[in-house]
Amino acid sequence: MQPLYGLKLLDLTWHVAGPYCTKLLGDFGAEIIKVERPGTGDPARTYGPFPGDLPDSERSGTFLHLNTNKKSITVNLKTEAGKDIIRDLVRDADVVVESFSPGVLSRLELDYAALSEINPGLVMCSISNFGQTGPYRDWKATNIVLDAMGGLMTCTGEEGYEPLKSVDHGLEYLAGTTGTTAIMGAVLHKRWNGEGQYIDVSAHEVAAGYPDRRMTALTGYEYTGRISTREPMLPTALPYGCFPCADGYVSYTVQPPARWTRFMEMMGRPDLLEDERFKDPGVWSDPATKEEMDAMWFPWLMEHTKQEAMEEGQKYRLACAAVNSTAEVLGDRHLAARGFWRKAGHPEAGELTYTGPSFHMGEGAWTLRSTAPLLGQHNAEVYCDGLGYTTEELVKLYQTGII
């Protein structure tokens, strides 16, 4: 049995952050009902890539990734009957996750204040750009906006050029992960104390405390008063960065003194370890030293593939890696040996490879129970089997645009 088996979750999220939050819970056993707009569904259904590069709302790579282990129903929340359906579903839910703009659910009378009246033990999590309160509450944002306002861009990129953003949707995924962590804390609190709880996740605040450079920059400012900027790399004669080799690129980080000795052993030049010149720390910023190192380093690289260069460096305990393409990551023997990749069939997209768990555990491990649902795929199951609607009533809900 999976750890979250029996946890019932109503998913009112769309795009990236919210669906990723609920996906993480579903992958470990939570039963998730995803609510989508009739006709169009989650806007993430329009995000690429698409198999065969043919856009199709049922074949979006982004949607397929974000919505494994979920059931999909359609509900028009602008109708009274649609809002009543949500209220009925909340009665039996442990958790509700939503990612509407702040104030939307309040206007629909479906916010935490209203839903907790129906289900006092409810855990509800809202994931938004800037949180539910504060002067920025109603502002719009994308990943690049969050990067800029959270301070990450100011120290990203090369000196003398414009700031750069982080990977697309990166902060949204992190906001989703933050929501998952907070929900699990609230679920444990409920099990111990019987109390529901409301969680307000701000992607802006996630960006402000982002562990990739942002946290380092904030800590540095706290201690030194110095603002992080885009700066050139420190000059070094030893390999530091990405370098061309026989079939692509390899990344190496070689620093004195310990790695310098191992690097020279790999190069077949242990004699240089006794050379008095290299016992002076200032030698590593000397252009003449760099020229001497490059004369050994680059011919060696051209004689090795990136896999060979990585494996040889690892023999000497050097921090190095092949710069792999997506196809090469898919073919990585280590990931295959640990069972990271999982294949599964989808009724519209066909058989695809999905990412698996990032950690392993004993009983109740990560499981791909089902691929992402078709739009409204589980309407009959949820409405008829779960809520007791008749077939005739279900047809009427379709005909009137409620579902």
Q: What are phi and psi of 53, to 5 degrees?
A: 60, 30
Beta-bridge mates of residue 12: 98
**Cβ distance 397 to 403 under 8 Å?**
yes
Q: What is the rounded CA–CA span in Å between residue 143 and residue 78?
A: 28
In order along its 403 residues, the chain shows pLDDT tens digits of 899 999 999 999 999 999 999 999 999 999 999 999 999 999 999 999 998 888 999 999 999 999 999 999 999 999 999 999 999 999 999 999 999 999 999 999 999 999 999 999 999 999 999 999 999 999 999 989 998 998 888 878 877 888 888 778 889 999 999 999 999 999 999 999 999 999 999 999 998 887 766 667 667 767 777 776 766 566 789 999 999 999 999 999 998 777 889 999 999 999 999 999 988 888 988 999 999 999 999 999 999 999 999 999 999 999 999 999 999 999 999 999 999 999 999 999 999 999 998 888 887 788 999 999 999 999 999 999 999 999 999 999 999 999 9
Topology classification of domain 240-329: formyl-coa transferase, domain 3 (3.30.1540)
**Cβ distance 363 to 58 under 8 Å?**
no
Report the Cα 287 to chain-centroid distance in Å.
41
User: Which residues touch 30 (CB under 8 Å, ≥6 apart)?
Assistant: 4, 7, 8, 9, 22, 69, 95
Return the amino acid letter for 310: M
CATH number of the structural domain 8-213+336-399: 3.40.50.10540
**Cβ distance 403 to 38 under 8 Å?**
yes
Residue 394, classed as helix, strand or coil, is helix
Peptide bond preceding 55 in cis form (omega within 30 of 0)? no
Can you give the pLDDT at residue 395?
97
Q: How many CA atoms lie within 13 A of 303 on its CB side?
A: 7
All structural domains of the chain with their residue ranges? 8-213+336-399, 240-329
**Cβ distance 371 to 64 under 8 Å?**
yes
Q: What is the rounded CA–CA span in Å between residue 250 and residue 241?
A: 8
Q: Quick one: CA torsion of 126, 131, 132, 136, rounded to 10 degrees? A: -150
DSSP sequence for 141-196: --HHHHHHHTTSGGGSS-TTS-----STTHHHHHHHHHHHHHHHHHHHHHHHH---
